Copies of this chain bind each other. A is one copy, B any other.
Amino acid sequence: MKEKEGAPKIGMAKGRIEALNDGVFAIAMTLLILNIKPPTGKQSLSAIQDFFINSLSQFFDYGLSFLLLAFFWTAQHRQFHWVRRVDDRLLWLNMLLLLFIAVVPLSTALYGDHKSLWPTALFINLNLFIVLLILYGMWAYASSHKELLSPDLSEEHRVFTKRPTLGLIPLLSIIAIVLSFIIPSWSTVPYIFVPFIMTRKLN
């Protein structure tokens, strides 16, 4: 958590920024479930059954948004694994990331309730796209400022992190944005392929 005495004093140590990140991600992930509102007042058996059936698509949205936030958290985690020091620019890029991460519960709620309308589809897909852009921007910035990086990060690995498969994820994101205007209800489907791309990248 604390920088070593001999370490260069560029920017700030990353421990507390990671703690703030973990907090914002954990809250955003847990708030997602509040989008599914349980029926209040006395309900008949068939009303409760209808509630579960009608909520199926919202449970799917919950799962997808939760896992996307988990994926973004993992991506941010991997970046900061190699970052040793955080300067002001990287700090504020990170704050922008958190700003858009905290919007995900709202964009998921809007999309979940009004799935067939293009503005809500566009809103969630733009939200996810901006998150991805900032994540790429953070790595582009950090990986070109060697004084911020851990000396353990080999040149080989820095090249590896720029492999073309990674570019497929923003591509999916752009497809999702286009689909928002054509079939809004299914426009987030491309994100289902994120884990497959991740797996290919990692093997």
Copies of this chain, whole number: 4
B24 touches A24 (CB 8 A): no
B19 touches A106 (CB 8 A): no
A102 touches B66 (CB 8 A): yes
A105 touches B26 (CB 8 A): no
A22 touches B25 (CB 8 A): no
Could you tell me which residues of chain A, from 6 to 56, have a CB within 8 Å of some CB in chain B?
Answer: 12-13, 15-16, 18-20, 22-34, 36, 38-40, 42-43, 45, 48-49, 52
Task: Provide the residues of chain B in CB contact with A20, threshold 8 Å.
Answer: 22, 25-26, 73
Task: Provide the residues of chain B in CB contact with A42, threshold 8 Å.
Answer: 114
Closest B residue to A101 by CB, please name it: B30
Determine the distance from Cα of A106 to Cα of B62 in the docked complex, in whole angstroms. Answer: 12
* Interface residue? A182 (CB, 8 A): no
User: How far in angstroms is the closest Cβ of chain B from A150?
Assistant: 10
